[in-house]
Amino acid sequence: MIIGLFNDWVVVVLMMIGLYIVIAHGNLIKKIVGLAIFQTSVFILYISMANVEGGSAPILAEGIKQFSNPLPHVLILTAIVVGVATTALGLALVVRIKEAYGSIEEEDIQHLDNKTQDETEIQATEGDQS
Amino acid sequence: MISHLPILQVIVPLMAAPICLLLKRSQLVWLFSLFASAIAFIISVLLLQQVMTSGVISYELGGWEAPWGIEYRIDKLNAFLLLIISAISTVVLIAAQTSIEKEIPKEKHTLFYILYLLSLTGMLGIVSTGDAFNVFVFLEISSLSAYALIALGQDRRALWASYQYLIMGTIGATFILIGIGLMYQMTGTLNMQDLSQRLPEVAQTRTVFTAFAFVIVGVCLKLALFPLHLWLPNAYAYAPSIVTAFFAATATKVAIYLLIRFTFTVFGLSFSFTTLPLQGLFLLLGLTGIFVASSAAIYQNNVKHVFAYSSIAQVGYIIVGLSTSTITGLTATLLHLFNHALMKSAIFLALGAVVYRLGNVQLSSFNGLGRQMPLTMAAIVIGGLSLIGVPLTVGFVSKWYLLTALLEKGWWPVAILILLGSLLAVIYVWRIVEAAYFKKPLADSVPVKEAPLFFLIPIWLLITANIYFGIDTRLSLQVASAAAQSLFGVSP
Amino acid sequence: MDIIINISGALFLLIGSFLCISGGVGLLRFPDFYTRMHAVGVTDTLGAGMILIGLMFYSPDFLTFSKLVIILLLTLLIGPTTSHVLAKAAMHNNLMPKLQQEDNIKETSSSNY
Amino acid sequence: MKDLFAVVMLLGIYSLLSASFFVAMDAVDVAFTEAAVGAGISTLLMLVVITMTGRSEKTTRHKPWLALLVVVFTGGVLIYGTFDMPYFGIADAPIHSHVAPRYINESMKEIGIPNIVTSVLASYRAFDTFGEVVVIFTAGIGVMALLSVGRRPEEDEKTTAINDSMHEEYLVIRIVTKMLIPFILLYALYVQFHGDFGPGGGFQAGVIFAAAIILYTMLFGLTTARKVINQSFIQFIAAAGVLLYGCVGIVSMLNGANFFDYNVLASDPVAGQHLGILLIEWGVGCTVASVMIMIFFNFAGRREMQQNNEKVNNIEGDSL
């Protein structure tokens, strides 16, 4: 039981770490790192599902009968590329946010947003009175 | 060529995107993407006819039969959604060129159209595919282009909204990936049809239960159902108006389609509504979503925020319709998908016209707009009325069917709550009407002319559709009830 | 004949792994950035080189043998260059090596950087 | 861990470890991609971003207890789900008995390629890979839309001055790179065409090709690199890659078979499969290489713009 499901529990622990980083850490780059860890744990789930005891890599060669399942490998090739695409776009957004807000910490950005929010409300109330 | 329609539906906008990159000049690219979207619309109309006459179409990609290769299965539900998405995208594209002149810097126009076509491809791909993993790939295409499109907004808060949407969207997509992985692990297949046949044997295992939970949470994140809706208001309010008009009408609809497809076709009705207390959960979340979002909409002073919150409330109505899990309930849900798309795209296009003229959508700057931009404001008022569900408009039809479904089920308290929810809608629509017609314009505000023709044609096209389908409901009702019956396995 | 090949192969592998272990221990024990980098340099260039030569003895056919030779040349080329660039970058960020006689506080604070 | 530089380096090591983990799990293609794409490109992009956004990080946590609660609940649900999962490595698990045997047994007859992963990737589920190429294309267009900088006229004498000052500083690494880059490009082409027989294929080849050009750009400066590889050509290649991939499908459609059915591409089916797979791997390689280069050039161009703005501000600051 323990050895059989050990891989899945490692996947769950990695997933929890990744999710915690994304939610708890304020730095925007840290969130993207957390996202990367979260996605890598899903890859390990798929690949440990595909593995067959005593099987070799899915490349046909004489003398080898038992292969591990090629389908999850194809799915994970797609998922890795999707993961990198999301990371690249996230990092582009972080660069633009740094230029626009001057900081990449969630509290500073939230603080600046609330400030601009109050200013627009004050203008609106003045507009109504006049 | 007729037999290749399902794949052409997705390939036409997909190949149009790289071609646009080669065309470079934004005027030419606009016409080309409008042309591509129009072709996609024509294909979806042909597909709908084909499906209504000859039932489900199955198209094997690469010539490999179903569980081995990827298969496109178009039934009444898909065809209906494809029609909505391509119609809305074509109409919204008409106003695109004039709207983005004021909102997006010149050198980024071509990139805007490419991203627009890619998000259209993504949505069409999600709706028409019959393979679980292919849904994830096209979900990523439409989400990535959505993040980039929202980040093109003028306001710096668009960047922050797009970043939050990226984080929430990627977590949602990865949850769906985990769900698909667990389902694949227990059944060994990725094809949805094959999954629905093989899942009942392993339905009682804990892994399939977890897979179901993860897929539902992932889709609800994309759907912006009540507790997971935090990314939607800012994303829709600060994005360019054309992007909001397109996504408000289609993005949540695609997620609802996914929800219906997974609960009804893949996991089967009995499993989805008995194991997880889905019925009670959806009912509760839908109702709270209606009340919380509508009351939040009342206190917003940015009009785009108002209608973004009202979108969340409308999603609440749809989910309540879904939770009845009867044929009329499902028909009401599908009707509301169609009607809500018409309403919201008209309203957000009209707001785009206001942004084009005024530059901002603060409620205070709306004062006295009724006289300066009569046609646009009239469109917003009619859209608002149909949001409330006033007779002779589309909103009334879907509210009517929702209420009959609820009363049929005997849940009259829920029906009363739905009516109360519509009253809340009256309040926030009235706030806008009052500002536009009964308040004098501000002293320093410069009088503005009516919106340009390129805005008025699509807006009024959608408004007439709003009214026409309110009166003659043959098309939308017939397709919606046929789709609902096919989902329940009852041959119409 | 193949006994000698096996033994020499095993010998090289043994030396290589010993060097890697010593590099690892060096990485932990050495006080300063530059000394630690020396330890890593040993593992990177010599340790890996020895293991590759050991593997050459076990390679079944000429193709894998030639591939291993190419890998060995590559590591010999890249290993020292990366150590050089690493040291230059450290110097560039004015991280001074911990010399024997002056042991002022500024360095110790920066050396465990 | 306050220093982001260390965090990114550890992420790179983490990706490399997970790549070696995949090798241990007999997933060689995935390990190759994870090492090249995960450890290579994403660590590189993060380093470029850190040079722009600074290395220190505030350690205030954002509602940690709520986060812990959500995470423990999700983890609990997942652990609850793992109890009925088939054990690791058992041969008669459902996934090995339903769809996979056909791939393993018939792929040699139907497609004739030893590497089953490439045959599944490129032929059985070719549309998935097409979606993936479009995802990469979308990311490239998205990054360009966010970070593209209007090009202003370059002053030539300024760039040559920078070049000389950089020359002595990076002397050793420049000489070694000049020796290495041709071999890296050759290796990328080897990986591209070796995908049918061993681990490799379009993605890995594209990334390695892009890594070689990025290495050149980092050492010889962005302006010289722009002279060597101009941007519009790279955009053309990105679009051409996707179009090539799509056209293979359209050609098979025009020949009467379904989309992406390679049997009709050549006289006999297996030759058609080989041709189809070769073409789409080529399309994938072009797109991935050009998009990765485009993304890096946009990030570096943005960094250069920021530095020029700072220089301009300093000059104004001094002259005030």
Q: Where are the domains of chain A?
A: 2-53+68-104
C-alpha to C-alpha distance for B294 and B388, rounded to whole angstroms? 11
- Per the structure, how many domains does chain D have? 2
Question: What is the rounded average pLDDT of the residues D64-77?
Answer: 88
Contact predicate D228/D288, CB 8 Å: no
Which of A120-124, C104-108, D107-111: highest mean pLDDT? D107-111
Say whether both D79 and D157 belong to one domain.
no
Model confidence, pTM: 0.92
> End-to-end distance of chain D based on CA atoms, in angstroms?
41
Where does B161-265 show beta strands of DSSP type E? none
| Residue in A73, A80, A85 closest to D117 by CB | A73
* Dihedrals phi, psi of A25, to nearest 5 degrees: -85, 140
pLDDT of residue C113: 47
8 Å CB contact of B14 and D258: no
Tell me which chain C residue has its CA closest to the CA of residue D173.
C81
Q: Which residues pair with B191 in a beta bridge?
A: B131
Is the Cβ of B154 closer than 8 Å to some Cβ of chain A? no
Q: Which two tokens stand for residue C89?
A: 């970058």
pLDDT of residue C100: 63
pLDDT band at B490 (very low <50, low <70, confident <90, very high): low
Contact predicate D131/A80, CB 8 Å: no
Pairing of strands B71-74, B57-60: antiparallel
Is the Cβ of D148 closer than 8 Å to some Cβ of chain A? no
D contact chains, 3+ CB pairs < 8 A: A, B, C
The one-letter code for the residue type at B291 is: F
Tell me which chain D residue has its CA closest to the CA of residue B62.
D261
Tell me which chain D residue has its CA closest to the CA of residue C86.
D173
C-alpha to C-alpha distance for B465 and B9, rounded to whole angstroms? 23
Q: Tell whether the torsion through CA atoms of B377, B383, B387 and B393 is positive or negative.
A: positive
Of B70 and D85, more confident: B70
> Which CATH architecture describes the domain A2-53+68-104?
Orthogonal Bundle (1.10)
SS3 B72: strand
Q: Which two tokens stand for residue D189?
A: 């082409």
8 Å CB contact of B148 and D146: yes
pLDDT band at B119 (very low <50, low <70, confident <90, very high): very high
Say whether both D262 and D151 belong to one domain.
yes
pLDDT of residue D272: 87
Contact predicate B359/B351, CB 8 Å: no
Q: Determine which of D151, D231, D258 to mutate to test the interface with B (most B C-beta atoms within 10 Å).
A: D258
Q: How far is B183 from chain D (nearest CA, A)?
A: 10
Is the Cβ of A22 closer than 8 Å to some Cβ of chain B? yes
pLDDT of residue B244: 92
pLDDT of residue B393: 86
Contact predicate B121/B115, CB 8 Å: no
Say whether both D151 and D21 belong to one domain.
no
pLDDT, tens digit (0-9, with 9 covering 90-100), for C22-71: 888 888 888 888 888 888 888 878 888 999 999 998 888 898 899 999 99
What is the torsion angle, in degrees rounded to the nearest 10, for the CA atoms of residue B314, residue B320, residue B321 and residue B327? 170
pLDDT of residue C102: 54
Among D183, D287, D170, D304, smallest CA distance to D238 is for D287
The ipTM estimated for the assembled molecules is: 0.91
Query: Roughly what angle, to the nearest 10 degrees, separates helices D269-319 and D43-53?
Result: 10
Q: Determine which of C75, C81, C93 to mutate to test the interface with D (most D C-beta atoms within 10 Å).
A: C81
Say whether both D77 and D190 belong to one domain.
no
Q: What is the mean pLDDT of chain B?
A: 88
* Dihedrals phi, psi of B488, to nearest 5 degrees: -80, 5
C-alpha to C-alpha distance for B67 and D125, rounded to whole angstroms? 10
| Residue in A22, A75, A101 closest to B156 by CB | A101
Judge whether D105 lies within some domain. Answer: no
B contact chains, 3+ CB pairs < 8 A: A, D
Say whether both D80 and D162 belong to one domain.
no
Q: Which two tokens stand for residue B296?
A: 């939040």
Say whether both D139 and D225 belong to one domain.
yes
What is the torsion angle, in degrees rounded to the nearest 10, for the CA atoms of residue A82, residue A85, residue A91 and residue A96? -130
Query: Does B226 score more than 90 pLDDT?
Result: no
C-alpha to C-alpha distance for D304 and D298, rounded to whole angstroms? 10
Say whether both D27 and D63 belong to one domain.
yes
Cβ-Cβ contacts under 8 Å, B132 against chain D: none
Cβ-Cβ contacts under 8 Å, C78 against chain D: 176, 180
Cβ-Cβ contacts under 8 Å, B209 against chain D: 81
Judge whether D315 lies within some domain. Answer: no
pLDDT of residue B107: 85
Q: Which two tokens stand for residue A60?
A: 């046909």
pLDDT band at B492 (very low <50, low <70, confident <90, very high): very low
| Residue in D173, D179, D180 closest to C85 by CB | D173
Q: Determine which of D173, D181, D190, D215 to mutate to test the interface with C (most C C-beta atoms within 10 Å).
A: D173
Query: Does C88 score more than 70 pLDDT?
Result: yes
Q: How far is CA B465 from the centre of its chain?
A: 17
Among D254, A117, D124, C19, smallest CA distance to B64 is for D124
Say whether both D138 and D78 belong to one domain.
no
For A43, B66, B187, B334, C81, the CA distances from B213, given in Å and listed in that order, are 20, 26, 17, 23, 52
pLDDT of residue A127: 57
Of D99 and D60, more confident: D99
Say whether both D200 and D91 belong to one domain.
no
Say whether both D52 and D195 belong to one domain.
no
8 Å CB contact of B11 and D249: yes
pLDDT, tens digit (0-9, with 9 covering 90-100), for A70-80: 889 999 999 99
Domain of D20? 1-98
Among B36, B20, B35, B39, smallest CA distance to B112 is for B20
Q: How far is CA B196 from the centre of its chain?
A: 26
Q: What is the mean pLDDT of chain D?
A: 85
Domain of C74? 2-111
- Per the structure, how many domains does chain C have? 1
Judge whether D320 lies within some domain. Answer: no
Q: Determine which of B136, B170, B358 to mutate to test the interface with A (most A C-beta atoms within 10 Å).
A: B170
Residue B58: its H or E element: strand B57-60
SS3 B71: strand
Contact predicate B144/D142, CB 8 Å: yes
* Dihedrals phi, psi of B57, to nearest 5 degrees: -105, 135
* Dihedrals phi, psi of B62, to nearest 5 degrees: 80, 5
Q: C101: Cβ–Cβ under 8 A, 6 or more apart, which residues?
A: none
Q: What share of chain A is helix, strand, coil (3-state, %, to 5)?
A: 80, 5, 15
Contact predicate B322/B329, CB 8 Å: yes
pLDDT, tens digit (0-9, with 9 covering 90-100), for B340-375: 999 999 999 999 998 888 888 888 888 888 888 888
C contact chains, 3+ CB pairs < 8 A: D
pLDDT of residue B376: 87
8 Å CB contact of A58 and D117: yes
Question: What is the rounded average pLDDT of the residues B46-64?
Answer: 88
Of C109 and D210, more confident: D210
* Dihedrals phi, psi of A57, to nearest 5 degrees: -60, 150
Count of positions (residues) in chain D: 320
pLDDT, tens digit (0-9, with 9 covering 90-100), for D156-210: 555 555 555 666 677 888 888 888 999 999 999 999 988 888 888 889 999 999 9
Contact predicate B219/B244, CB 8 Å: no
Q: Which two tokens stand for residue D252?
A: 């098979």
8 Å CB contact of D150 and B121: no
Cβ-Cβ contacts under 8 Å, B116 against chain D: none
Contact predicate D167/D151, CB 8 Å: no
Q: What share of chain B is helix, strand, coil (3-state, %, to 5)?
A: 80, 0, 15
| Residue in B159, B160, B174 closest to A38 by CB | B174
Say whether both D196 and D254 belong to one domain.
yes
8 Å CB contact of A123 and B364: yes
Residues (pLDDT < 70) of chain A are 1-2, 124, 126-130
Is the Cβ of D67 closer than 8 Å to some Cβ of chain A? yes
8 Å CB contact of A8 and D85: yes
Contact predicate A93/D48, CB 8 Å: no
pLDDT, tens digit (0-9, with 9 covering 90-100), for A115-124: 888 887 777 6
Q: Tell whether the torsion through CA atoms of C26, C32, C36 and C41 is positive or negative.
A: negative
Say whether both D94 and D120 belong to one domain.
no
Pick from D98, D126, D151: which residue ends a domain? D98
Cβ-Cβ contacts under 8 Å, D173 against chain C: 81, 84-85
| Residue in A22, A78, A124 closest to B167 by CB | A22
8 Å CB contact of D142 and B147: yes
Contact predicate B371/B394, CB 8 Å: no
C-alpha to C-alpha distance for D217 and D226, rounded to whole angstroms? 8
pLDDT band at C106 (very low <50, low <70, confident <90, very high): low
> Which of the residue ranges B68-72, B278-282, D181-185, D187-191 would you say has the lowest mean pLDDT?
B278-282
CA angle D287, D288, D294 (to 5 degrees): 85
SS3 A105: strand
